[in-house]
Amino acid sequence: MASELAGKVAFITGAARGVGRATAMIFAREGADVVLVDVATNIDGVPYSLATESQLRATAELCEAEGAAVEVVLADVRKQSDMGNAVHRAMKRFGQIDILVNNAGIAGPSGAIVHEVREDEWQLMLDINLTGAWRAIREIGPGMVERKSGSIINISSTAGVVAYRHFAGYVAAKHGLIGLTKAAALDYAPHRVRVNAICPGSIRDDFRVEGIMLSEIARALDVDQDEYESVFTQSQPNNELLAPVDVARAALWLASEQSVKMVGGVITLDGGFSIK
**3-class state of residue 9 by DSSP:** strand
* Nearest distance from C-beta of residue 203 to ligand NAD, angstroms: 4
CA 174/CA 163 separation, integer angstroms = 10
Query: Judged by CB under 6 A, does residue 128 bind ligand NAD?
Result: yes
**What Å distances lie between residue 221 and 111, 125, 126, 138, 263, CA to CA?**
6, 16, 19, 34, 36
DSSP character at residue 242: B
The active-site residue out of 48, 170, 188, 228 is 170
- Judged by CB under 6 A, the stretch of 27-35, 71-79, 112-120, 139-147 that binds ligand NAD is 71-79
Q: By C-beta, is 3 or 81 nearer to ligand NAD?
A: 81
For residue 186, the minimal CB distance to ligand NAD (Å) is 23
Residue 142: how many other CB atoms lie within 10 Å: 12
Contact 274, 161 (CB under 8 A): yes
Give alpha helix (H) positions in 132-243. Answer: 132-147, 168-188, 213-220, 225-235
Alpha-carbon distances, residue 115 vs 119, 167, 169, 220, 234 (angstroms): 10, 11, 11, 18, 29
Nearer to ligand NAD, 181 or 261 (CB): 181
Which of these segments, 25-33, 76-84, 115-123, 134-142, binds ligand NAD (CB under 6 A)?
76-84
Q: Edge to edge, what strands does the sheet with 70-74 contain?
A: 70-74, 33-38, 9-13, 99-102, 150-155, 193-200, 266-269
Contact flag: residue 73 with ligand NAD (CB under 6 A): no
| Amino acid at site 13 | T
Position 76 contacts ligand NAD (CB under 6 A): yes
Site string for ligand NAD, 139-178 (x = CB under 6 A): ----------------x-x---------------------
CA distance 74 to 13: 10
Q: Does 109 bind ligand NAD (CB under 6 A)?
A: no
> Is 23 a binder of ligand NAD (CB under 6 A)?
no
The number of helices, as runs of H, and strands, as runs of E, in the chain is 9, 7
Size of the residue set binding ligand NAD (CB under 6 A): 30
| Known catalytic membership, residue 188 | no
- What x-and-dash track marks residues 235-274 binding ligand NAD by CB under 6 A? ----------------------------------------
Of 200, 211, 202, nearest to 58 by C-alpha is: 211
Among 4, 13, 178, 180, contact with ligand NAD (rule: CB under 6 A): 13
By CB under 6 A, tell whether 87 contacts ligand NAD.
no
CA distances from 74 to 14, 150, 228 (A): 10, 23, 32
* Binding pattern for the stretch 197-236 against ligand NAD, x by CB under 6 A and - elsewhere: ---x-xx-------xxxx----------------------
The residues that are catalytic are 170
**Binding stretches for ligand NAD (CB under 6 A):** 13-14, 16-20, 38-40, 50-51, 76-78, 103-106, 128, 132, 155, 157, 200, 202-203, 211-214
